[in-house]
Structure formats: C-alpha cells, structure tokens
Amino acid sequence: MQVSESEFELIRIFEDLSTLARYAIYKILEEKRELKAYDLVEELRKMNVTTSYSAILQHLRKMQTNSGLVEVFEKDGKIHVKLKKKVKIEVEDVG
C-alpha cells in the first residue's frame, strides 16, 4: 500500500492523540495555546486525568517529535509548551 506524505502525517497525528492524557493535553493547549509544562499537572487533574510531571514531559516530547503538534521549549528556566498545529477531524456516518 502506498501512503502519501499527508496521509502519513495524519497517521502520526492520530498516534499522538491516541491516549487520554495526550488528547487532554491537546485540548488544554487548544484553549490556552501556551503554558508552563508543570501547569499541565493541575489542568489535567481538573479533567480527572492523573499523571506525573515526568510522564507529561514524555507525552509532550512524543507529540513534538512525532507529528509536530506541539513545541516544547525553555523560557525563564521553566519548560513551556505551545500548540503548533490545530487538528480538525470530520466524521461522517455512511450507513
């Protein structure tokens, strides 16, 4: 099967949103656009998603290197994350 570059990018985006924690991180960033990575711990708790700061950093690095959905960077000695791509998925019931 031949997969185009855009289809491959879509596959990587689906992979990056395939866990509850990563999807919740994406939804938070969709609303806030940028924040300190550590603040995600509390934001995720508000959504009933409990995870450690180190696990959050692993998720963010995966989302950055795999599909480029986010950018992780240091600012004022703290790790920050910024949303780089907004995802729109349309689902159509065909029968």
Q: What is the pLDDT of residue 89?
A: 85
What string of pLDDT tens digits covers the 95 residues of the chain? 788 998 999 999 999 999 999 999 999 999 999 999 999 999 999 999 999 999 999 999 999 999 999 999 999 999 999 999 999 988 899 98
Pairing label, strands 70-75, 78-83: antiparallel
- What is the predicted pLDDT for the residue at 91? 86
What distances in angstroms separate CA 76 from CA 43, 47, 55, 64, one per listed residue? 21, 27, 22, 20
Fold of 21-83: Arc Repressor Mutant, subunit A (1.10.10)
Tokens read off for 24: 């919740």
**Residue 95's pLDDT is what?**
86
pTM: 0.89
